[in-house]
């Protein structure tokens, strides 16, 4: 009797960095994170639609990369916690800094912003990944830091 062998896909995780280690910026404050993040936002859209960008860091707070995975409408964007954590795990990150923009220019976090931050903190705890900050960036070159305001 012939046994049928099921064929399945092989799953492989791979991480390749094209940058040398000495070129990685180090985050020591919310302003450091803001300076890096604002370079990755499209200035033409800051006042038009919300976007969510994430900085991924190693244990020495060196930036491993930025993920531009989510954009939305005028007042909201969708964030998939599973995708955010999947990128963190694949990139061997131990810390993340969330950021999103408020097209209205309001710096105050909404209840949805607070809820997302809390959900990511809980998810990160399972994997030893810390949410170090959540920045709200405005078109007027200002920002709000959850860490600076003791909301983490």
Distance CA 57, CA 129 (A): 10
Q: What pLDDT, on a 0 to 100 scale, did the predictor assign at position 83?
A: 92
Q: Residue 19's CB: how many other CB atoms inside 10 A?
A: 10
First to last CA, the chain: 62
Identify the pLDDT of residue 11.
65
Which three-class secondary structure state does DSSP give residue 30? helix
Per-residue pLDDT of the chain (152 residues; tens, 9 = 90+): 556 666 777 666 565 666 566 678 999 999 999 999 999 998 888 899 999 999 999 999 999 999 987 877 777 788 999 999 999 999 999 999 999 999 999 999 999 999 999 999 999 999 999 999 999 999 999 999 999 999 98
Among 73, 80, 68, 72, CA closest to 39: 68
Domains of the chain, each with CATH number or no CATH: 39-145 (3.40.140.10)
């Amino acid at each position: 009797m012939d046994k049928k062998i099921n064929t399945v896909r092989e799953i492989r995780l791979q991480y390749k960095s094209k940058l040398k280690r000495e070129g990685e910026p180090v985050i020591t404050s919310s302003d450091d994170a803001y300076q890096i993040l604002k370079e990755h936002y499209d200035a033409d859209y800051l006042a038009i639609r919300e976007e969510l960008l994430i900085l991924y860091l190693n244990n020495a707070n060196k930036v491993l990369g930025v993920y531009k995975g989510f954009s939305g409408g005028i007042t909201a964007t969708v964030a998939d916690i599973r995708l955010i954590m999947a990128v963190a795990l694949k990139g061997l990150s131990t810390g993340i800094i969330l950021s999103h923009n408020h097209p209205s220019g309001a710096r105050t976090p909404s209840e949805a912003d607070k809820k997302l931050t809390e959900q990511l903190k809980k998810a990160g705890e399972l994997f030893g990944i810390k949410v170090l900050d959540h920045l709200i960036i405005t078109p007027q070159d200002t920002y709000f830091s959850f860490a600076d305001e003791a909301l983490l």
